[in-house]
Amino acid sequence: MLAYIVRRLLYAVPILIGVNLLTFLLFFVVNTPDDMARMQLGMKRVSEEAITNWKQERGYDKPVIYNAEAEGVERFTETIFFQHSVRLFVFDFGRSDSGRDIGHDIAERMWPSLAIALPTFVIGILVNITFALLMVFFRATYVDLWGVVLCVILMSISGLFYIIGGQYLVGKVLHLVPISGYDDGINAIKFVILPVLIGVISGIGSGTRWYRTIFLEESGKDYVRTARAKGLSELQVLFRHVLRNALIPILTGAVVVLPLLFMGSLIMESFFGIPGLGSYTIDAINGQDFAIVRAMVFLGSVLYILGLLLTDISYTLVDPRIRLQ
Partner 1 sequence: MAGPSWHYVRPIERLKATSIIVIAKLRKLRGVLPIAWLLALSACSEVVLNNPYPREEWRANVLYSSFAERPKHLDPARSYSSNEYAFIGQIYEPPLQYHYLKRPYELIPLTASRMPRAEFYDAHDRPLAPDADPERIAYTLYTIEIRPGIRYQPHPAFARDAQGRLLYHRLTPEELAHIDSLADFAETGTRELVAADYVHQIKRLAHPALHSPILGLMSEYIVGLGELARRLREAPRGEFLDLTRYPLEGARVLDRYRYQIKVRGRYPQLLYWLAMPFFAPMPPEVERFYAQPGMQERNLSLDWYPVGTGAYMLTENNPNRRMVLVRNPNYRGMPYPAEGEPGDAERGLLADAGKTMPFIDKVVYNLEKETIPYWNKFLQGYYDTSGISSESFDQAVQIGSQGEITLTPEMRDKGIRLLTTVATSIFYLGFNMKDPVVGGLSERARKLRQALSIAIDFEEFISIFANGRGIAAQGPIPPGIFGHRDDFNPYVYEQRDGQRRRKSLDEARRLLAEAGYANGMDQRTGKPLTLYLDITASGPDDKARLNWYRKQFQKLNIQLVIRNTLYNRFQEKMINGTAQIFIWGWNADYPDPENFLFLLYGPNGKADHRGENAANYANPEFDRLFEQMKNMDNGPERQAIIDRMVDIVRRDAPWVWGFHPKRFGLYHAWYMNAKPNLMAHNTLQYRRIDPGLRFEQRQQWNRPVWWPLGLFLGLLVLGTLPAIYTYWRKEHRPPARQEGV
**Rule CB under 8 A: is residue 165 a binding residue for partner 1?**
no
Candidates 99, 185, 231, 320; binder of partner 1 (CB under 8 A) is: 99
176: left (phi over 0), alpha (psi -120 to 50) or beta: alpha
Q: Of 234, 241, 253, 226, give the one whose Cα is nearest residue 135.
A: 234
**Rule CB under 8 A: is residue 46 a binding residue for partner 1?**
yes
Which residue number, 158 or 233, has a Cβ lying nearer to partner 1? Answer: 233
For residue 289, the Cα-to-chain-centroid distance in whole angstroms is 21
Candidates 10, 14, 48, 325; binder of partner 1 (CB under 8 A) is: 48
Candidates 249, 270, 300, 319; binder of partner 1 (CB under 8 A) is: 270
Which residue number, 279 or 301, has a Cβ lying nearer to partner 1? Answer: 279
**Rule CB under 8 A: is residue 53 a binding residue for partner 1?**
yes
Instruction: For the beta carbon of residue 325, count every other beta carbon within 10 angstroms.
Output: 6
**Rule CB under 8 A: is residue 41 a binding residue for partner 1?**
yes
Q: In sequence order, which residues have a C-beta less than 8 Å from that of residue 102 and are 6 or more positions away?
A: 93, 94, 95, 96, 291, 292, 295
Q: Of 156, 121, 102, give the one whose Cα is nearest residue 261.
A: 121
> Closest approach of Cβ 213 to partner 1, in Å?
21
Distances (CA, A) of 68 to 34, 60, 64, 81, 211: 20, 16, 11, 14, 57
**Rule CB under 8 A: is residue 275 a binding residue for partner 1?**
yes
**Rule CB under 8 A: is residue 271 a binding residue for partner 1?**
yes
**Rule CB under 8 A: is residue 233 a binding residue for partner 1?**
yes
> Closest approach of Cβ 223 to partner 1, in Å?
21
Interface residue list for partner 1 (CB under 8 A): 30-32, 35, 38, 40-42, 44-50, 53-54, 57, 95, 98-101, 104-105, 108-109, 112, 134, 137-138, 141-143, 164, 167-168, 171-183, 187, 190-191, 233-234, 270-273, 275-276, 279, 283, 288
